[in-house]
Amino acid sequence: MKIDLRKIYRFTPMEYVAGSPLPSGGDIYYECTICNGVISSVPRIASACECGNLTGNGGEAVIKEVDKVNPVRGKLK
């Protein structure tokens, strides 16, 4: 099942220094710059972006290319 999180949340960019660890938390999401997909930084259900750069399940996100990810903060619309 594909859920478009942009219909539920309003995302705002976060300040992030390239090379430092990506932030994570309940209101932090990762946006793939390749396909523009968004997944939670702590996904509780199986999640993946279209291109497969971001995947996750069980509270852990897996990122293939970290330099192609932007952390964003999500708030319910």
- Give the residue with greater pLDDT, 43 vs 2: 43
* pLDDT value at residue 18: 83
Residue 35's domain spans which residues?
5-76
As for how many domains the chain has, the answer is 1
Cβ partners under 8 Å of residue 66, min gap 6: 22
pLDDT tens profile 16-47: 888 889 999 999 999 999 999 999 999 999 99
Phi first, then psi: give them for residue 3, nearest 5 degrees.
Answer: -115, 125
Phi first, then psi: give them for residue 23, nearest 5 degrees.
Answer: -70, 155
pLDDT tens profile 39-76: 999 999 999 999 999 999 999 999 999 999 999 999 99
Best CA proximity match to 4, nearest among 45, 41, 42, 50: 50
* pLDDT value at residue 1: 58
